[in-house]
Amino acid sequence: MHSVDLWWAADPEAYHAVSSATEEAAMTHHTLELPEVDLVYDVHGPLPTADGRPPLMMIGQPMDASGFQAQVALFPDRTVVTYDPRGLGRSTRKDGEATNEPETQAEDVHAVIEALGAGPVDMFASSGGAVTALALVTAHPDDVATLVAHEPPLDCVLPDAEAVQRARDAYTRVYQEKGWGAGMAGFVAMTSWEGEVTEEYLARPAPDPAAFGMHTDDDGRRDDPLLSERSWAVTAYRPDLEALRASPTRIVIAVGEESRKVYTGRSAIALAEQLGQEATVFPSHHGGFLGGEFGYAGQPEAFAATLREVLDRR
C-alpha cells in the first residue's frame, strides 16, 4: 500500500499529540486571517533564519502539518514552516466551498510566504502538496528558491490517463454507495497497482475492505477529501510546463524507490521527463518521510538525509 499515508484527512487532535511529543526549539503557531479562510501555520525556529538560508516550507494535501513532524525534528539547523491547507486540520474555510483546487491552495501558500516576510523559501512538497507547489511556482515564480516536488499525482502526464480516471470514478462510486471502508479499499487497490491501468484491472470486482484490514461499517459520511470528488481537481490539474521550465525556481521532481511502478511514482517520473529531467530517487515509498506516528512508517532519517543533500546541491 504505497500511496495511502499522504492522502488521509487531517486530524487536529493528532497534530497536537504528535507536536507535543516532538522536542522542538522556538516553535510558534500563527493564524493568517484571509477573507475566505483562516490559515494556521507553524514556524519551527527563528525568523530571520539563524544562518541566512531560506526557511524550509513543507506542505502536503490533503495532509496537514502533523505529517511533517518527523522531518521537522531531523532539520534542527533549519527554520521549518508547516501549515494546514484550507478546510483541513486547524485551517477553517469561510468561503462555503469544499473542493480543493490547486490554484486556490497555491494562493494560500503564497499568502503564508508573504506573511513570513523572509523572501523566497525552499520547499518540500509531497503528493497533492506537490501539485499545489507546481501551481504556486507557475503563479508566483519568485516565491520558491528550490522546490522538491515529491510524487505529484497528475493524470495528464500518463499515457493511461483515461483509464486512471475510470478507476477513480469506480472507487468514488463505491465510496458513495457503501462508505469509507469500501471506498478506501478501492483507492488502495488502484494506487498499489503496478504499471498502467488496464482493462483487466478495470474489470475486477471492487475489493473487500476486510482484506485490507478496514472496517465495513458505513458511518454515513461522504465528505472524505480523498474518496469523494472534492480533490479531483488535484489529479486533474494540468501543469504549465513552459512556465515551469522558464521559472527561476530550481525544480526537482522526486520519486520513492519503492513506488516507481505505481500511480504516483509513474506520474512523478513522467512529469520529470516532460520537464527535461530525470526524477530524483528518494528512499522508501509515497510516505517515505513519515515516522511511525500514523501506523505506516517510511524511512524518515534516510529520507531527510536525501532531502538535505538535494537542497544543498543548488
pLDDT for the residue 25: 52
Q: What is the mean pLDDT of residues 184-195?
A: 95
pLDDT exceeds 90 at position 206: yes
Task: List the one residue out of 58, 63, 70 whose CA is nearest residue 85.
Answer: 63
Q: Where in the chain is the domain with CATH 3.40.50.1820?
A: 5-154+237-313
pLDDT (tens digit per residue) in 142-175: 999 999 999 999 999 999 999 999 999 999 999 9
Q: What is the rounded distance in angstroms from the CA atom of residue 113 to the CA atom of residue 95? A: 21
At residue 16, the pLDDT reads 42
State the CATH architecture for 5-154+237-313.
3-Layer(aba) Sandwich (3.40)
Quote the distance between the C-alpha of residue 20 and its chain's center: 23
Closest CA to 285 of 303, 304, 307: 303
pTM of the model: 0.91
Mean pLDDT across the chain, nearest whole number? 91
Q: What are phi and psi of 147, to 5 degrees?
A: -115, 125
pLDDT of residue 119: 87
pLDDT band, residue 1 (cuts 50/70/90): very low
What pLDDT, on a 0 to 100 scale, did the predictor assign at position 259?
A: 97
Give the amino acid at 224: D
Cβ–Cβ < 8 Å for 192, 184: no
Percent of the chain surpassing pLDDT 70: 92
**Backbone region of residue 179 per phi and psi (left: phi > 0; alpha: psi in -120 to 50; beta: other values):** left
Question: Does residue 227 surpass a pLDDT of 50?
Answer: yes
Per-residue pLDDT tens for 11-66?
Answer: 434 434 444 434 445 899 999 999 999 999 999 999 999 999 999 999 999 999 99
Residue 7 CA to residue 11 CA, distance in Å, equals 12
Q: Within 13 Å, how many C-alpha atoms sit on residue 155's CB side?
A: 19
Mean pLDDT of 230-244: 97
The closest of 37, 77, 78 to 55, measured between CA atoms, is 78
Full 3-state SS string of the chain: CCCCHHHCCCCHHHHHHHHHHCCCCCEEEEEEECCCEEEEEEEECCCCCCCCCCCEEEECCCCCHHHHHHHHHCCCCCCEEEECCCCCCCCEECCCCCCCCHHHHHHHHHHHHHHHCCCCEEEEEECHHHHHHHHHHHHCCCCEEEEEEECCCCCCCCCCHHHHHHHHHHHHHHHHHHCHHHHHHHHHHHHHCCCCCCHHHHCCCCCCHHHHCCCCCCCCCCCCCCCCHHHHHHHCCCCCHHHHHHCCCEEEEEEECCCCCCHHHHHHHHHHHHCCCCCEEECCCCCCCCCCCCCCCCCHHHHHHHHHHHHHHC
- Grid cell listed for 312: 544543498
Rounded mean pLDDT, 268-292: 96
| CA-wise closest residue to 155 among 276, 277, 266 | 266
Contact 70, 300 (CB under 8 A): yes
Supply the pLDDT for residue 293: 75
> pLDDT by residue (tens digit) across 100-157?
999 999 999 999 999 999 989 999 999 999 999 999 999 999 999 999 999 999 999 9
The confidence score (pLDDT) of residue 87 equals 95
* 8 Å CB contact between 172 and 183: yes
With beta carbons less than 8 A apart as the criterion, state whether 27 and 79 touch. Answer: no
Q: Out of 1-5, 24-28, 255-259, which region has the weakest mean confidence (pLDDT)?
A: 1-5
Q: Say if residue 21 is exposed, middle or buried (CB neighbours under 10 Å; 0-12, 13-18, 19+).
A: exposed
Give the pLDDT band (50/70/90) at residue 4.
very low
